[in-house]
Amino acid sequence: MAMDEAREPTRRDFLYLSTGMAGAVGVAAAAWPFIDQMRPDASTLAAASIEVDVSSLTEGMSLTVKWRGRPVFIRNRTAEEVEAARAVAMADLKDPEARNANLADDQAATDLARSAGEGRENWILMIGVCTHLGCVPLGQAGDFGGWFCPCHGSHYDTAGRIRKGPAPENLAIPRYEFISEAVVRVG
């Protein structure tokens, strides 16, 4: 038989192919329980987002809620706090990135990029975990009137931007949206 002639498939070829396919299906069927058990539990999925009523937070008040096992600071900032945050020069910031999950990654850390946006500049939501070693900062404290982590001396301003101390990044802002005037959904 010449090399360039096509060979007819035999019964043996069919058996090899069928056996290989049956083996692949068997391996997939045996592996599925292990793969399926890696999916999140229903209670975890339920905690994927929370809705918080912020109607009782008057100007200057804060609220801390727990989301995915971490504290989230929600603050209705005063007009003076917003103005103080707007007045900060970008060159004075230790971390120039907004770190806001609601915006593109390359956004500058302006007060507007850190707040709830146009028309809601007074609202700020942040994950309340210091970016240095994971401590929980104290609110309305520190050299800039924002948050202060007493463990190692990190000072955050009223927009949650790191201004002084060993923390390398601004406090992170989770994905959130106002679903009404009084309710915000985090996650």
Q: Which of 66, 120, 152, 175 is catalytic?
A: 152
Q: Which of 173, 171, 86, 71 is nearest to 121 (CA)?
A: 86
Helix, strand, coil share (%) of the chain residues, nearest 5:
25, 25, 50
Question: What is the full DSSP assignment across 38-69?
Answer: TSPPHHHHHTT-EEEE-TT--TT-EEEEEETT
Q: What are phi and psi of 121, to 5 degrees?
A: -60, -25
Is residue 132 annotated as part of the catalytic site, yes or no?
no
* Catalytic sites, residue numbers: 152
